[in-house]
Structure 1
Amino acid sequence: MEKDRKETPVSPILGKQSVSLQKPVYMIDSASIVGKKEGEGPLGDLFDLVGEDDMFGAQTWEDAESTLQKEALGTALRKAGWKAQEVRYLFAGDLLGQEIATSFGLVNYELPLFGLYGACSTCGLSLTLASMIISGGFADKAACVTSSHFASAEKEFRFPLAYGNQRPLSATWTVTGSGAFLLGAEKTGKARAKITGLTPGKIVDYGLKDSMNMGACMAPAAADTIEQHLKDFGRQPDYYDKIITGDLGKVGQTVLIDLLNKKGIDISGQHMDCGIEIFDAGEQDTHAGGSGCGCSAVTLSAYVLKMLEEGVWKRVLFAPTGALLSKTSFNEGQNVPGIAHGVVLESPV
């Protein structure tokens, strides 16, 4: 008799820095909550909730951002029909010092929290880590939440609003918004998308120092992650219906496409940037476009997942970008390094 043969398990480790999920992780549901300006933009009708007042009933900008996170997660849970206690782990973060929007906003859910900081790439970072945890069998359900607020970000990184400083045309407008995503190991009923691959990014520093040109600062990291992702998976750009960055804006988009063209990679036919999509540059005076943790998160929830859910797009590479700076590093004249995390999202249809 022949001895029983055991199949060699396929390793999820792919190429230099990617992960291929042998069993997809499902995006069960999501929610997006935005401020008044975002609600007046091209995607306004797609968001779950648009605030009439960017204070959201709070006393400070920081409390308003915490309210955004609390309401976004609550809305996602209600839409999915989940109880908060069903969520094994929370993966969440924001732009503020010590992540106070997250800690104060989600405290009452009383769930184990992985507090994350990836700057404006935090949505991609949280989805990456939650997917690996679920795929590895360490959780069956997880939630990812992130947020930004125009006023709290200006206060944290730039100038008091009352200062009324002039913004250059290369500047982006921090989105007031929060996105929440519920991930599960099993497709129970419906799902908005499935996650099948991941390419965590690395820090890329081209020596740029202009915090009013964040798109240019982050574009090299986006180019690095996208290039490595395509190499690791052995794919061409047209494998994807869209290759989506988070908040490069118009300046960063130009830099990204130019950098990849020099490597022989042309993504001009597939590229989309959430910061360009969320505002009407001609009508809303947002200069280069939108940015902030909430930019890619709410655009993903309201628009990208809708296109995947309806089968209009079959697969996308979602690669939000972050600028790794603080008030201290900027005031000390340090560079503004970037990072981008790639997540492969496919239609559940």
Structure 2
Amino acid sequence: MPGKKRGKQTVVFHNPPVITSSASIVGPDEGKGPFGSYFDQVLPDYMFGEKTWEKAESKMLREAVKLAINKANLKEDDIEVILAGDLLNQTISANYAARDLSLPLLGLYGACSTMAESLLLGAMLVDGGFFSKVVAATSSHHHTAERQFRFPTEQGVQPTVTTQWTATAAGAVVLQSEGSGPRITAATVGKVVDMGQKDMSNMGSAMAPAAVDTIKAHLDDLKRSPDYYDLILTGDLGKIGKAIAEELFVVKGIVPKPFYNDCGVLLYDENQDVNAGGSGCGCAACMLCGPLLKKMQEGSLKKLLLVATGALMSPTSMFQGESIPCVAHAVAVEMN
């Protein structure tokens, strides 16, 4: 049997893992967007019955995992490992969610690329025969991210036009070696790309080059044209990053339009006050686990390339004047 690696950065799966279920929980603003009816649960407020936003985020992640497991007709003890992460220091949302579930955890940090990273690694574990039932999940919360990376929202600091709105959302999928549903057929591990951008309020422009680099690597490694996919979807570049990516596509000689869009653009309505669009781990996670997988089940979407993007800085690196290194991972999801 030929090896699974293709080109420099891509792997194909001989026994493509099946996404047997998914679940999504979103905050009030995300529920008001154009895909509000596709999410499993829309929270009435940001606290989710907890005393802090951080506890609310962990609860969102935990409940999304539980719901995905239940929808797969499994018990929590059936899950062999959770691959999860979030934006907070030491990935505390995932850590405490896994503690409450009493399940093995592989904690991940890829910033906003974490959903694709968890899917990529989970698919490798299942395809390799190491596990047969895995959960991939992630979350973000607007107020927890603002408090950690920018300014506490209570201060009322005015955002710039380039600032993106961190999504309050969690998504989880169950990956199994057998079953029916969309399959993860290939994945591309992204390289860290740093163009020297230092503005934390303009994340889309920082991440766009990494997204385009990974998309080009994926297409080159698999010798595919962009129109192989019904949709190529980046994670959270927002309006500004999406426009930059479209310019870079031309420079790189790939023109995926009209097959290209961005979760940060799609998640919110144009009339919502989210500045340059959505971001955060939960942005790509809820779009995948809500509307995208449902559209695949309905048959209106058959081949999807999800390219979640992440800015790998921290408050410490920003205080030290460092630039923003970024990464993007790509996961191909296909219906038979």
TM-score greater than 0.5 by the shorter chain: yes
Residue 180 in structure 1 maps to residue 208 in structure 2: no
C-alpha distance in 2 between matches for 1:123 and 1:84: 20
Residue 256 in structure 1 maps to residue 248 in structure 2: no
- Map 1:76-87 onto structure 2 (within 5 A): 76-87=68-79
Q: Which residue pairs with 1:71 in the alignment?
A: 63
Q: Which residue pairs with 1:336 in the alignment?
A: 324
TM-align CA RMSD:
0.8
1:169 alignment partner, SS class:
coil
Match of 1:279 among 268, 272, 278: 268
Q: Which residue pairs with 1:156 in the alignment?
A: 148
**Which one-letter code corresponds to 1:233 in the other structure?**
L
C-alpha distance in 2 between matches for 1:70 and 1:235: 37
Aligned partners of 1:222 and 1:339 also within 8 Å: yes
C-alpha distance in 2 between matches for 1:38 and 1:106: 25
Cα offset, 1:106, TM superposition: 2.1
**Which one-letter code corresponds to 2:197 in the other structure?**
L
Match of 1:100 among 92, 95, 102: 92
State percent identity of aligned pairs: 47
Cα offset, 1:304, TM superposition: 0.9
**Which one-letter code corresponds to 2:31 in the other structure?**
G
What TM-score, normalized by structure 2, do the two folds share?
0.99
**Which one-letter code corresponds to 1:244 in the other structure?**
L
Cα offset, 1:307, TM superposition: 1.6
Q: Deviations over 1:76-106 (max 9, x none)?
A: 1111111011111110000000111111122
Cα offset, 1:209, TM superposition: 0.7
Residue 269 in structure 1 maps to residue 261 in structure 2: no
Match of 1:219 among 192, 204, 208: 208
Residue 247 in structure 1 maps to residue 228 in structure 2: no
Cα offset, 1:286, TM superposition: 0.5
What is the number of residues matched between the two proteins? 336
Q: Which residue pairs with 1:125 in the alignment?
A: 117
Q: Deviations over 1:106-134 (max 9, x none)?
A: 21221111100000000000000000011
Q: Which residue pairs with 1:109 in the alignment?
A: 101
Q: Deviations over 1:270-322 (max 9, x none)?
A: 111111111012x2111111000000000001111112111212201110100
Q: Which residue pairs with 2:303 in the alignment?
A: 315
Cα offset, 1:49, TM superposition: 0.3
C-alpha distance in 2 between matches for 1:160 and 1:33: 23
**Which one-letter code corresponds to 1:170 in the other structure?**
T
C-alpha distance in 1 between matches for 2:130 and 2:66: 23
C-alpha distance in 2 between matches for 1:285 and 1:347: 35
**Which one-letter code corresponds to 2:259 in the other structure?**
Q
What TM-score, normalized by structure 1, do the two folds share?
0.95
Aligned partners of 1:240 and 1:270 also within 8 Å: yes
Q: Which residue pairs with 1:15 in the alignment?
A: 7
Cα offset, 1:207, TM superposition: 0.5
Runs of 4+ in 1 over 2 A off after TM superposition: none
Aligned partners of 1:69 and 1:106 also within 8 Å: no
1:225 alignment partner, SS class:
helix
Q: Deviations over 1:226-283 (max 9, x none)?
A: 00000000000011110010000110011111112111111221111111111012x2
- Note the residue ranges of structure 2 that are not aligned, 5 or more in a row: none
Aligned partners of 1:46 and 1:302 also within 8 Å: yes
C-alpha distance in 1 between matches for 2:67 and 2:285: 14
2:215 alignment partner, SS class:
helix
